[in-house]
Amino acid sequence: MAKKSKKQQPGGTPATVALTAAGVPFTVHSYEHDPAHPSYGEEAAEAMGVSPDRVFKTLVADVDGTLTVAVVPVAGQLDLKALASAVGGKRATMADPTLAERTTGYVRGGISPLGQRRKLPTVLDESATRHETICVSAGRRGLEVELTPTDLTTLTSAALAPIGRG
């Protein structure tokens, strides 16, 4: 079930609140999350009937001691060296999941690049620009938002770089 939204919906998330406050058009897609599914992102793509190259996962990495958000297609993986390079760093590792949850205000599998508790440097994989719209987590497992890559880049002050690998 998907619903178009420009106004705050009851039970909205910080991500949908941020989109609404910015006046950005977006579509909310919700689906029944299966805790047994091995991949949150692939589950979202399957449930929504959307190509996995249009559904992006939000990952939090530590680049030289600075938490950094990486947004890459669920069909691929994050290239940590490319992420470090994109933000002028030397070394990147995946952030401790508990620290990522505490810093962003979201739970793993539901971390959104939007409406985070603390604004972190963000890098969006440049493949996003090949699509009219992409889907990212709306801040809860089983909830995605669809928006343009330009709006996502603007709202998160993201850099565009080739940080994903197939």
- Quick: pLDDT tens for 91-150: 999 999 999 999 999 998 899 999 999 999 999 999 999 999 999 999 998 999 999 999
Strand 26-30 with 143-147, pairing: antiparallel
Q: Which two tokens stand for residue 122?
A: 């963000």
> pLDDT value at position 35?
82
Rounded Cα distance between 19 and 42, Å, is 24
Mean pLDDT value across the chain: 91
Q: Which pLDDT band holds residue 2 (cuts at 50, 70, 90)?
A: very low
> Which of 16 and 39 is assigned the larger pLDDT?
16
| Per-residue pLDDT at 40 exceeds 50 | yes
> pLDDT value at position 38?
79
Q: Of 1-10, 44-53, 91-100, 115-124, where does mean pLDDT reach its minimum?
A: 1-10
> pLDDT value at position 25?
96
Q: How far is CA 2 from the centre of its chain?
A: 18
pTM over 0.85: yes
DSSP string, 30-77: E----TT-S-HHHHHHHHHT--GGGBEEEEEEEETTEEEEEEEETTSE
- What residues form DSSP beta bridges with 56? 73
- For the chain, the distance separating the N- and C-terminal CA atoms, rounded to the nearest angstrom, is 29
